[in-house]
Amino acid sequence: MAHPHTHPRHSVAVVLQCLSAYARSAKPARLAALVPPLPRPVVEVLSALADAVLMLVLAVYYVLEAAVFELLPRRLTSKSVDGQVVLVTGAAGGLGRHLAARFARLGATIVAWDVNDDGVAETVRQVRAAGGLARGYVVDLADRQAVYRTAALVKREVGPVDILVNNAGVAFGRTFMHLTDRQIETTYNVNILAHYWTAKAFLPEMMRANRGHIVTVSSVTGLMGCYRCTDYSASKFATVGFHESLFTELKVQGYDGIHTTLVCPYFIDTGMFAGVKPRLMPMLEPARAADDIVDAVRTNQVTVTLPGSIRYLLPLKSLFPSKLSWALMYRMMQGPQAMMGMKPRL
């Protein structure tokens, strides 16, 4: 029986999942048992051809599916988060506060995490003032044991987390030789290692129910390196690998009810990148970025770039010669020059 929160796409793809299961079982050894007279090389060729035909069918189906769902109204393709528990890290301000507010307006119970106690209290106050439900917890995400203790407290006081939004991040905005060892460690502790601790804390309940959603807020700088970001960019590259590997593990192990969404936004005007002056496009407004992220979660999108147009530029990094890619970045986009004005954090 389908779960009430099952997304329409999941139900529509049942037949193709059955075909895929058959394809996975159609190994050369299995086919050889069915048709023993055929030589093994012939069986392997037939198996490869069967897989190729299946992939062609899947390709046509998924392209058509994406086109249809893109044209349909969001209200018809979006899952409900009403009554679900949504935990947002880095919720004391900026994008995290906007995400908390948007999810709360949709009926979710918000669990706000941040090291900033005043900011957490203000986020909770704003959500409640708008008629939503929220609880705040002060937690240092760089402290693994603090994450585990606070997660256990959330489970006792609020209940299992349905949607985990790993949004917290830090950026010091310093060139490599001006970064202190402590700053590098802090960047990795908050920007990537905390994702492991939160996921390990809340994923077991999701796996038992085969239902849930893990959102990884990365960055465009996690897809291409950026000036003054050897720590930040590298940690965001790590979040991309974390998301893709976790997605793979959950699918292979049969947890089709647990969704994962990777979000790679362009610079968001939250103060983190104060002083940065992009040349080709303005910084994203945090409220609009939060709307796009929530929409992506509700439609179970796996990978999202903000704005969407950036995804057409990213392949150029691999397709163009390295020197041409650098010239495009430095002369046309002026990415390094834009970052030179960033105000370093202490």
**197 within domain boundaries:** yes
**Residue 264 is assigned to a structural domain of this protein:** yes
User: In sequence order, which residues have a C-beta less than 8 Å from that of residue 17 and are 6 or more positions away?
Assistant: 256
Q: Cα dist. 240→56, 95, 218, 302 in Å?
A: 27, 19, 7, 11
Domain tally, the chain: 1
Average pLDDT over residues 136-160: 98
Per-residue confidence at 17, pLDDT binned at 50, 70, 90? low
- Report the sign of the C-alpha dihedral through residues 45, 49, 50, 54, in that order: positive
Query: What range defines the domain where residue 321 resides?
Result: 83-340
The mean per-residue pLDDT over the stretch 9-17 comes to: 50
Q: How far is CA 328 from CA 280, 335, 344, in A?
A: 12, 9, 26
- 17 domain-assigned: no
Considering the domain boundaries, does residue 296 fall inside one?
yes
- The verdict on whether 232 is a catalytic residue reads yes
Q: Per residue in 79-138, pLDDT tens?
A: 999 999 999 999 999 999 999 999 999 999 999 999 999 999 999 999 999 999 999 999
- Name residue 162's amino acid: D
The answer to whether position 235 is within a domain reads yes
Q: Average pLDDT in the 166-172 region?
A: 97
**Residue-wise pLDDT tens digits, 253-301:** 999 999 999 999 999 999 998 889 888 889 999 999 999 999 999 999 9
* Segments in the chain forming alpha helices (H): 8-12, 14-25, 28-34, 40-71, 74-77, 94-105, 117-129, 144-157, 181-188, 194-209, 230-252, 286-298, 316-319, 322-327, 335-339
Any domain includes 241: yes
Q: Is the pLDDT of residue 30 over 60?
A: no
* Beta-carbon-side half-sphere exposure of residue 156 (alpha carbons within 13 Å): 6
pLDDT band at 34 (very low <50, low <70, confident <90, very high): low
CA separation for the pair 39, 32 (Å, rounded): 8
Nearest to 252 by CA among 21, 28, 54, 15: 21
Q: Is 50 exceeded by the pLDDT of residue 43?
A: yes
At residue 36 the predicted structure's pLDDT band, cuts being 50, 70 and 90, is low
pLDDT digits (tens, 9 = 90+) for 211-264: 999 999 999 999 999 999 999 999 999 999 999 999 999 999 999 999 999 999
For 264, the token pair is 């790679």
CB 211 within 8 A of CB 4: no
According to the model, what pLDDT value does residue 28 have?
Answer: 47
* Mean pLDDT, range 187-200, rounded to an integer: 98
Contact 169, 191 (CB under 8 A): yes
> What's the pLDDT at 33?
54
Q: What is the CATH number of the domain that holds 302?
A: 3.40.50.720
Phi and psi, residue 321, nearest 5°: -60, 150
Q: What is the pTM of this model?
A: 0.84
Catalytic residue selected from 137, 188, 232, 266:
232
pLDDT of residue 233: 97
Sign of CA dihedral 148, 150, 151, 157: positive
Assess if residue 22 is contained within a domain. Answer: no
Res. 157: pLDDT tops 50: yes
Higher pLDDT, 188 or 53: 188
50 within a domain of the structure (yes/no): no
